[in-house]
């Protein structure tokens, strides 16, 4: 790193790795800084699910989809917000992105047809077969290594290097590293309790389950340069982290017909809101909740490695009746019996669901019944630096911050302005990968244009 780089990437999650690969393949000299002792960040903790509207894999599966349909889905979930232009660009680019990852690079991913997950009207998620983001990160790291792109782990950028208002690198260990362009891929601010309390107060009391490096560096550095911020109140929560195992209870268990209940054995909201939107509802009713589903749903979820591991760790309790499973996990048995009876009646079409649920999938539930103790958590924030459709950081006063790019959690996302209800499955990874790749390509276009 002794010479001036074309692109310095700060952060080695999916955004930074994709940006580095794209810039390298366009002829650039690239290096990556990672403050933690290992790459991956929140991308490694995700399910690796990436929406790809209109991809060739959808067409081969006979699924009709388009960027326009994805935009409609995202607006339906999140409404209009500070980064509407990104919603349209990302919807247009996500299909080609999946094809780039799988066909051009060789990522071990496939179209998911077993479920759609929250916010999507058709099957458009592409993910590793394991449903582990770590597998996607491992693939990206392999592609980086194949290109001899250096990654300096355990080297936290302390500040941006700025000359006459232009970003020209970063400071690491008190030493400058110069670069023609800089990509901020440091994720968001969910690991900073002060910033979370300021911008996402409703989830501030929840335990943080994301990567420890999400400390808001990009927001602070950007603000010091006059950058604009957007969608700062938005976040991705998770309503059902298995306790005490600390692993995600696959939302497939709820999407396929399971319910969440309190210690009284009674439901407290509509699970159709999804794993992110429902997190605040779990928090309001108490520290813990219990997922109730059945053996048929368990069999579907067990195809996912993380769920199978969670089950093997003893997280799932079984009984032949709702009352029996309630007694086994310490719930009010009469309450759960009444809850399941009423829910099953609604699932059979014998009246409306009391919580307003309309998507029952495999319900009514039947014996044997499963129960998993869960707690809500915060995974990552969805607000950050406003960027244009070329991933360039915008100034609050107009124009852009010269030479500075951002993506993923460092940038304002597409999940609405406030709260968790606007988060559709894959919103975090898709903004990371699309904006990271876009930043890498635009970097080299701009450098070549003045060469």
* 183 occurs within a structural domain: yes
CATH number at residue 257: 3.90.700.10
* 393 occurs within a structural domain: yes
C-alpha Rg value of the chain to the nearest Å: 22
CA trace torsion 129, 131, 137, 138 (10° rounding): -50
In a 13 Å sphere around the CA of 424, the CA atoms on its Cβ side amount to: 30
Please state the φ and ψ torsions of residue 295, each to the nearest 5 degrees: -65, -30
* 219 occurs within a structural domain: no
Confidence band of 451 (pLDDT split at 50, 70, 90) = confident
CATH number at residue 438: 3.50.50.60
Confidence band of 181 (pLDDT split at 50, 70, 90) = very high
288-338 tens-digit pLDDT? 999 999 999 999 999 888 899 999 999 999 999 999 999 999 999 999 999
d(CA 364, CA 350): 11
Beta strands in 119-204 (DSSP E): 125-128, 151-153, 157-163, 166-172, 175-184
**Contact 322/339 with Cβ under 8 angstroms?**
yes
* 111 occurs within a structural domain: no
Largest CA distance in the chain: 75
369 and 251 fall within a common domain = yes
Confidence band of 115 (pLDDT split at 50, 70, 90) = confident
| Predicted confidence (pLDDT) at residue 392 exceeds the cutoff of 90 | yes
Token reading at 233: 């109140």
176 and 43 fall within a common domain = yes
In the prediction, which pLDDT does 137 show?
A: 98
Question: Considering the chain, what percentage of its residues have pLDDT values greater than 90?
Answer: 94
Query: What's the whole-model pTM score?
Result: 0.91
In the prediction, which pLDDT does 2 show?
A: 56
Confidence band of 116 (pLDDT split at 50, 70, 90) = confident
d(CA 211, CA 347): 38
Determine the structural domain holding residue 267 and report its residue range.
Answer: 236-377
Residue in 185, 148, 72 with CA at minimum distance from that of residue 432: 185
425 and 354 fall within a common domain = no
346 and 440 fall within a common domain = no
Token reading at 219: 């927001």
* 257 occurs within a structural domain: yes
């Amino acid at each position: 790193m002794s010479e001036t780089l074309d692109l310095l990437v700060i952060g080695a999650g999916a955004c930074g790795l994709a940006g580095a690969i794209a810039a390298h393949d366009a002829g650039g000299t690239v290096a990556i800084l990672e403050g933690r002792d290992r790459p991956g960040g929140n991308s490694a903790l995700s399910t690796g699910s990436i929406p790809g509207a209109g991809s060739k894999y959808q067409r081969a599966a006979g699924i009709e989809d388009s960027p326009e349909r994805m935009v409609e889905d995202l607006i339906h979930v999140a409404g209009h917000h500070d980064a509407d232009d990104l919603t349209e660009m990302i919807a247009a680019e996500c299909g080609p992105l999946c094809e780039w990852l799988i066909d051009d690079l060789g990522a071990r991913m496939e179209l998911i047809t077993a479920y759609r997950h929250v916010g999507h009207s058709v099957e458009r998620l592409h993910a590793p077969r394991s449903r582990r983001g770590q597998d996607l990160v491992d693939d990206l790291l392999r592609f980086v290594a194949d290109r001899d792109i250096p990654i300096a782990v355990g080297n936290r950028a302390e500040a941006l290097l700025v000359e006459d208002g232009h970003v020209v690198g970063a400071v690491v260990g008190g030493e400058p590293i110069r670069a023609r362009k800089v990509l901020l891929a440091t994720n968001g601010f969910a690991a900073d309790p002060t910033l979370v309390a300021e911008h996402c107060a409703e989830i501030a009391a929840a335990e943080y389950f994301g990567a420890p490096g999400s400390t808001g560096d990009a927001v602070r550095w950007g603000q010091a340069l006059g950058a604009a911020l957007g969608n700062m109140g938005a976040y991705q929560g998770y309503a059902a982290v298995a306790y005490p195992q600390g692993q995600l209870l696959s939302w497939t268990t709820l999407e396929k017909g399971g319910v969440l209940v309190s210690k009284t054995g009674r439901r407290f909201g509509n699970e159709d809101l999804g794993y992110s939107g429902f997190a605040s509802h779990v928090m309001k009713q108490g520290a813990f909740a219990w997922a109730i589903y059945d053996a048929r749903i368990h069999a579907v979820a067990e195809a996912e490695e993380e769920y199978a591991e969670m089950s093997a760790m003893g997280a799932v309790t079984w009984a032949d009746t709702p009352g029996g499973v309630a007694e086994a996990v310490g719930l009010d048995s009469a309450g759960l019996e009444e809850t399941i009876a009423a829910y099953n009646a609604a699932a059979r079409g014998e009246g409306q669901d009391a919580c307003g649920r309309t998507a029952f999938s495999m319900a009514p539930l039947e014996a044997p019944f499963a129960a998993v103790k869960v707690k809500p958590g915060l995974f990552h924030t969805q607000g950050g630096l406003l960027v244009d459709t070329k991933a360039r950081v915008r100034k609050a006063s107009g124009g852009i911050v010269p030479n500075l790019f951002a993506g993923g959690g460092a940038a304002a996302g597409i999940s609405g302005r406030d709260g968790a209800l606007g988060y559709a499955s894959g919103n975090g990874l898709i903004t990371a990968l699309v904006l990271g790749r876009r930043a890498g390509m635009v970097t080299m276009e701009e450098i070549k244009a003045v060469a």
